[in-house]
Structure 1
Amino acid sequence: MGKKRPANPIKDIERVFDIQDYLKYKNERDYTLFALGIGTGYRAGDLIELRVRDVKKALRIGYFLILENKKKNTQNIRKENIKPREAKIPKKLEKILKDYTKDKKDYEFMFKSRKGTGSIQVKQVSRILSEAGEKFGLYNITAHSMRKTYAYTIYRESGFDIVAVKEMLGHATIEITKRYLGLDRELYDKYSNTLNQLFN
């Protein structure tokens, strides 16, 4: 069985808009989840656990403060050294979240499964986003692509400030962030392409 390919970020802003539009007309839940994922950079596994009350609290204070599952499951780190990651809510995302939570009860899951018995699962989020991506010629788009899109956008808009991306993602080292963004791979591919000059 082949190695699973890593999720790709959506690098082209027009494709991000396309996927938002596609999801908006198809399903408000999926659209809101996608917007929240690309706007905060939280993992899908953390977003699907949110209740309406969690989002309303974040809207009141202007940012999310989530102890990410990856940190919760980290071994050999003292509990007092594990801190929640803060993510400011951009103005346009704030409106999307207010509209979505308006008629919902505080105890409800933000992103309910179709059966309504619990929250949507990450596997289902990946399926939805993969389908949306393929509609616009994008492949290896999964639930994790939301976080990668957030990271890549910050990297580009910050003038390629890898330290800013590291801090905003809560990564331990810059090396992790470089691998996460696929920067080494891009660089190696670029160098490999220069070998074309060896052939006539």
Structure 2
Amino acid sequence: MNQLISDENVRHIPWNKGKLIGQKFPLKLKEIWAIRIRLQLANRMRELALFNLAIDSKLRACDLVQLRVCDVTQGNRVSARTIVMQQKTHRPVQFEITEQTRDSVWAWISQAKLQSDEYLFPSRIHDSPHLSTRQYARIVDSWVKSIGLDPGAYGTHTMRRTKATLVYRRTKNLRAVQLLLGHTKLESTVRYLGIEVDDALDISEQTEV
């Protein structure tokens, strides 16, 4: 009986126990390229495709790991744009797939010989059909460590926030970023970007048409 209780406790230890929790930093442009170049030089095609698509899509981890080949392709090419239904909000979100991301994703699909209905990032573990969010989190940790960053300050939300933050800094257009992230409320976008509410509302009013 004691052994059963012990096993049950082990199975239910929260994944984030003992970890630093809080808003994760986005990557800077030089950091994006530093990781990208390392993955290219190491010929890690799956991770390069995952990294590039994570940046472009701005999807939550749960949505990113469950993408299928058909979600991002049309025939024998990767789409320039696609729409994905979000698990959390049950609302569709559209995103652009840049040329370098299309190239890396297609290279991975070709290398792995993936079929249209298969998961884009299949797991290497038998009982999981696709990469799990925990596996993805470990991969993100390895990326930030590889360029000397503290993995405690970065995570899967880093990948979601990075392009949105870059777009906001260039345009100051909160509505556009809200659409890109698929947020239903502007307040969620404000929190995600880490800006002051009053400043956000002023900018929002100036960008309305």
Query: Would you say the 8 A contact 2:45–2:107 is kept in 1?
Result: no
3-state SS of paired residue (1:144): helix
TM-score if structure 2 supplies the norm length? 0.73
Who is 1:197 aligned against?
Answer: none
* Aligned residue pairs, count: 174
Report the Cα distance in structure 2 between the residues aligned to 1:108 and 1:9, rounded to whole angstroms: 30
Report the Cα distance in structure 1 between the residues aligned to 2:139 and 2:36, rounded to whole angstroms: 12
Who is 2:120 aligned against?
Answer: 110
Query: Would you say the 8 A contact 1:151–1:165 is kept in 2?
Result: yes
Counterpart amino acid of 1:13?
L
Who is 2:84 aligned against?
Answer: 66
Match of 2:52 among 35, 38, 44: 35
Who is 1:78 aligned against?
Answer: none
- Does the C-alpha gap of structure 1 residues 4 and 55 become closer, same or farther in structure 2, counting only changes over 3 Å? same
Match of 1:136 among 138, 142, 147: 147
3-state SS of paired residue (1:85): strand
- Greater relative CO (CA pairs within 8 A, separation 6+): 1
Query: Would you say the 8 A contact 2:65–2:121 is kept in 1?
Result: yes
Report the Cα distance in structure 2 between the residues aligned to 1:146 and 1:2, rounded to whole angstroms: 18
Who is 1:175 aligned against?
Answer: 187
Offset from partner CA, 1:97-135 (integer Å, 9 cap, x none)? 222223322232111112365111111111111122123
Report the Cα distance in structure 2 between the residues aligned to 1:20 and 1:6, rounded to whole angstroms: 23
Who is 1:92 aligned against?
Answer: 100
TM-score if structure 1 supplies the norm length? 0.76
Who is 1:198 aligned against?
Answer: none
Report the Cα distance in structure 2 between the residues aligned to 1:150 and 1:113, rounded to whole angstroms: 26
Query: Would you say the 8 A contact 2:65–2:132 is kept in 1?
Result: yes
Query: Would you say the 8 A contact 1:126–1:141 is kept in 2?
Result: no
Query: Would you say the 8 A contact 2:24–2:155 is kept in 1?
Result: yes
Ranges of 4+ aligned residues in structure 1 off by more than 6 Å? none
2:39 paired with 1:23: yes
Offset from partner CA, 1:66-88 (integer Å, 9 cap, x none)? 1111113xxxxxxxxxx411112
- Does the C-alpha gap of structure 1 residues 109 and 61 become closer, same or farther in structure 2, counting only changes over 3 Å? closer
Counterpart amino acid of 1:109?
Y
Query: Would you say the 8 A contact 1:125–1:142 is kept in 2?
Result: no
Match of 1:148 among 161, 173, 176: 161
Give the unaligned 5+ runs of structure 1: 73-82, 188-200
Query: Would you say the 8 A contact 2:66–2:130 is kept in 1?
Result: yes
Report the Cα distance in structure 1 between the residues aligned to 2:195 and 2:67, rounded to whole angstroms: 32
Report the Cα distance in structure 2 between the residues aligned to 1:115 and 1:26, rounded to whole angstroms: 22
Offset from partner CA, 1:116-157 (integer Å, 9 cap, x none)? 651111111111111221232323221221111021111123
